[in-house]
Amino acid sequence: MMNKNKKLWGMLILTAGLAASGFSILTLSEIRIENVENGVLDESFVQAYTSLRAGQQIESETELNAAVAHDVDNLRRSERFSYVRAVVEQAGEKFTLVYKVASRLRLRQIEITGAEGVGNRKIKKELELALGDYVDQALVGEKVRKVEEYCRKHKYPAATITWDLKADGKTGAADLLLKVNEGEKLRVKRISFEGESFAGDSVYRRMIPNIFPSRKSSDRFDPWELRKIMQQKKTWWITPWGGAYKPETKEADIAAIRKFYQDRGFLDVKVDGPELKQLGDGKLELIYHVQESVKYQIGSIGFDGNTLYERAELEKQVKLKSGAVASRAAIDDAASSVNHYYGNRGYIHNDVQPVISTDPATKIASIRFSVREGELANINEIDIRGNEKTRDEVMRRELAVYPGELFHQQKVETSESRLKNLGYFETVNSSYAPAAEGTNAYDLAFKVKEKAMGSFLVGAGFSSVDDLVVFADLSHGNFDIRRWPPVGDGQKMKVRVQAGTKRNDVEVSYIEPWFMDRKLALGEDLYYRNNGYYSDQFDLQTLGSRTSLTKPLGTFTRGTVSYSLEQFRVDNVTAPAAADIWNDAGTWLKSTVGTSISFDTRDQFFIPTKGNYSSTGVEVSGGPLGGDEDIYTLELKSSEFWPVLKDHVFNIKGELRTVDSYGSSSRVPVFDRLFLGGPRNLRGFKYRYVSPRDPKNDNEPLGGLSSWYCTAEYTVPLWSKIRAAVFYDIGAVSEDTFDFFGADINSDFGIGMRIDLPMFPLRLDYAIPHIMDKNNDGADGRFSFLLGYSF
């Protein structure tokens, strides 16, 4: 900012001087370069970055200003100068252009002392200066402050750095001397709390409440609950590099602890600290002192200042009940609900504040909501700001508000949520301003900050089915297939390549979420798969495409129609000549039309804790559609999630499927038949091993025409991103169509672990067979592991 101001000041002087004399065509008699500081100045370097020359004629003031501004910008961008200014001096008919500059120094040496703990190498890396760089006092000061902050964040909270930039006026070089005063290295070994409301602080107590939480309300809290919400963390034996003492988090942590108590009814709580206790060897114990006071219950509830709506109407918006715990969070939510009530009826600039009166003797908190009613407002114009790549219409079609209608706070917030859910923006904020004085019309603006939507992932995975797989994944969530650069139209594009010991895949996916400017999603998938994990007796190659249209049918319901054209090739068959697999060897063309309806009320897409996802669908291949297969498939599946106790989740999911041939076709090929077993359904059995068998082929799984399975799973949080699971799986596969319960049942039970790492969620399970048919009799317990989510 300082350099810009200096440049502007120089230009103002130039313009004012010319304006005073009246501008006519002039000739620059001389161009002079001045170094405003003592030091070495290479005038040829300045001339190389400037365009104006002695003897050059200037025809207009605009031309002169533009040329000088361009030269000053070039000199500033060279980073060779800490100060640049241009002025025109006039003496009669003689005009002299003067460039006044202050040269930066060329860094010749960096000397660091005192960095015994952090180390000279780390200091130099964080300094971000290399020998030969051009520096000045301001630049070095900025770099040194960053290094100082780095030291403070890495266990040296009292670190300070002094520095001296020694210039060599003869050569234009400079030596930088840094003196580091690290102070004592401090790590937080323990974070403790003193008060009347704390239970024990053992590892046992830390885990047991997660696994067996009590339904009864308690006034005693485990210290780990507070440590979990604090910014200051402690070091562990498995993370000795962590736990640096950060005094700058003090106020935020005290506020978090206070809120924790106030949300549980301790409205008068006082929190002091932390008290620092030296444990030796640079280790600290932080002790926070908590005075809980009393736990309050809600008493009377009233309103002041409301004239537009009756008290009884506002009371309906408040979910507080007399006698309930006086939670500050619940009280603030009640105030927000009253504010929303006004906002949803066109009123803006409303303010609702709770006034809480506590009586420690009776342990009662009386609440009165002070209401300041706003003014009625209509929406004039809607402005979109900050979208440099995303087109306006992509955002406007998601809005729930329109120009000309009455202001509606909930619709504005819904619009914000929809824009956030697009996944294109880091932040979305709405604001409004008067459109014109003396009216109730307001302009509504949505300001966004775009984020990078493209991603390129390279990795490796391993599962009990695929074995080793390496993959490359290129995707973009805000694609535009019709423009270049192809960004900003809200389409989704993905290319994935996988190669492994048992599979080689190439997949290309494209989704247009607003096909033909309607809320109609067009999907196109192209894929090639070469899979060897289906069986040891054959390989299956698939080349295909699928086109789909999906439309919302309600708040939670979607309908989909699709068409797919696929070519299957069964080759490398090693089965005996009499085996049924030989009947399916060769190339098959499959032409399929399908339709499905899905219902989804889950709270989260990947790791839900409550809600239901159900779908039913039918596919028909062949017949008038052509191809080598005349079959149909029916499918019904559902998954229900229930939150239980404290962050526990109980999930029951099941699936029914049946497939059959029709017309002149008498066979469903092996790649379309039904199997169970493996990490996605019956985890206690080998992949595809729950199936009718081929007696002519060493009892090889042949697949059936009907299948069902059901899974009950209970997950418990252990630590952040890690959950334990217990489960029971049961299911069967029948030889006949619609014969769901005629086949022998197989089931298993087991335990598992869910590690919810972003992009790489891992499911580890150990399952023991419980009920086994004759084909799986004697099966042992088995491990299964899966990289990815299971739906």
- Segment 426-477, tens digit of pLDDT: 899 999 999 988 788 999 999 999 988 787 777 766 666 666 778 888 888 8
Percent of the chain with pLDDT over 90: 48
What is the rounded CA–CA span in Å between residue 554 and residue 552? 6
- Cβ count near 781 (within 10 Å): 13
CA separation, residue 109 to residues 132, 170, 176 (Å): 9, 16, 6
Task: Please measure the distance between the N-terminal and C-terminal CA atoms of the chain and give it in whole angstroms.
Answer: 54
281, 294 contact by CB (below 8 A):
no
Q: Per-residue pLDDT for 506 more than 90?
A: yes
**What is the per-residue pLDDT for 75?**
83
In this prediction the pTM is: 0.67
Say how far apart CA 152 and CA 144 lie, in whole Å. Answer: 13
> What's phi and psi for 519, nearest 5 deg?
-75, 70
Q: Which of residues 241 and 67 earns the better pLDDT score?
A: 67
Phi-psi region of 776 (alpha: psi -120 to 50; beta: other; left: phi over 0): alpha
Residues belonging to the chain:
791
Percent above pLDDT 70 for the chain = 91
Measured distance CA(174)–CA(107) in Å, rounded: 5
Torsion angle defined by CA atoms of residues 364, 365, 366 and 368, in that order, rounded to the nearest 10 degrees: -170
Task: Output the pLDDT for position 711.
Answer: 97
pLDDT in tens, 599-655: 999 988 778 899 999 999 999 999 999 999 999 999 999 999 999 877 899 999 999
Q: pLDDT at residue 89 above 90?
A: no
- Long-range residue pairs from 206-213, CB within 8 A, at least 24 positions apart, any chain: 207/718, 209/646, 210/646, 210/647, 210/716, 210/717, 210/718, 211/716, 211/718, 211/724, 213/645, 213/646, 213/648
Dist CA 592 CA 615 (whole Å):
19
Q: Cβ neighbours of residue 97 under 8 Å, at least 6 residues apart? A: 28, 30, 31, 32, 52, 68, 86, 87, 88
- Specify the range with the lowest mean pLDDT, choosing from 179-188, 236-245, 711-720: 236-245
Mean pLDDT of 149-159: 84
The pLDDT, as a whole number, for residue 347 is 94
pLDDT of residue 183: 84
What single letter denotes the amino acid at residue 561? V
What pLDDT, on a 0 to 100 scale, did the predictor assign at position 414? Answer: 92
pLDDT band at 574 (very low <50, low <70, confident <90, very high): confident
Rounded to 10 deg, the angle between the 328-343 and 409-421 helix axes is 110
- Taking 90 as the threshold, does the pLDDT of residue 38 lie above it? no
Specify the range with the lowest mean pLDDT, choosing from 234-243, 579-588, 708-717: 234-243
- What average pLDDT does this structure show over 773-785? 89
β-pair type (722-734, 746-755): antiparallel
Q: What is the pLDDT of residue 239?
A: 57
Give, in order, the Cα–Cα distances in Å from 740 to each of 614, 666, 708, 774. Answer: 19, 20, 6, 18
Q: What letter would DSSP give residue 244?
A: B
Reported as a pLDDT band with limits 50, 70 and 90, residue 7 is very low
d(CA 68, CA 11): 8
Lowest-pLDDT choice from 20-29, 65-74, 456-465: 20-29
- Say whether 670 sits in a helix, a strand or coil: helix
Q: Is 90 exceeded by the pLDDT of residue 80?
A: no
d(CA 258, CA 228): 14
What burial letters (b/e) apply to 728-750, b meaning 16+ CB within 10 Å? bbbbbbbbebeebeebeebbbbb
Please tell me which residue, 554 or 615, carries the higher pLDDT value.
Answer: 615
Q: What is the pLDDT of residue 247?
A: 86
Q: Are 570 and 540 in contact (CB under 8 A)?
A: yes
Candidates 108, 120, 93; CA nearest to 27 is 93
Cis peptide before 701 (omega within 30 of 0): no
Q: Residue 754 burial (CB < 10 Å; 0-12/13-18/19+)?
A: buried
**Which of 72-76, 441-445, 763-767 has the weakest average pLDDT?**
72-76
Distance of CA 136 to the CA centre of its chain: 40
C-alpha 764/C-alpha 780 separation (Å) is: 17
The structure tokens 């729930």 sit at: 400
Split at pLDDT 50, 70, 90, the class of 416 is: very high
Q: Which residue has the tokens 């080759």?
A: 571
23-50 average pLDDT score = 76
- Provide the pLDDT confidence category of residue 6 given band limits of 50, 70 and 90: very low
Tell me, rounded to whole angstroms, the distance of Cα 145 from its chain centroid: 31
Burial 603-640 (b: 16+ CB within 10 A, else e): eeeebbbbbbbbbebebbbbbeeebbbbbbbbbebbbb
Residues whose CB is less than 8 angstroms from the CB of residue 357 and which lie 6 or more positions away in sequence, other chains included: 365, 366, 367, 368
At residue 579, the 3 state secondary structure works out as coil
Burial 291-323 (b: 16+ CB within 10 A, else e): ebbbbbbbbebebeebeebeeeebeebbebeee
Q: Which of 170-174, 241-245, 653-657, 707-711 has the lowest mean pLDDT?
A: 241-245
Residue 788 has pLDDT above 70, yes or no: no
Residue 731 β-bridge partners: 709, 746
**Residue 202: is its pLDDT beyond 60?**
no
In the predicted structure, residue 2 carries a pLDDT above the cut 70? no
Mean pLDDT estimate for the chain: 86
Q: In which band, very low, low, confident or very high, does the pLDDT at 719 lie, cut at 50, 70 and 90?
A: confident
Structure-block tokens of residue 643: 């939150």
Q: Which amino acid is at 221?
A: F
pLDDT value of position 352: 95
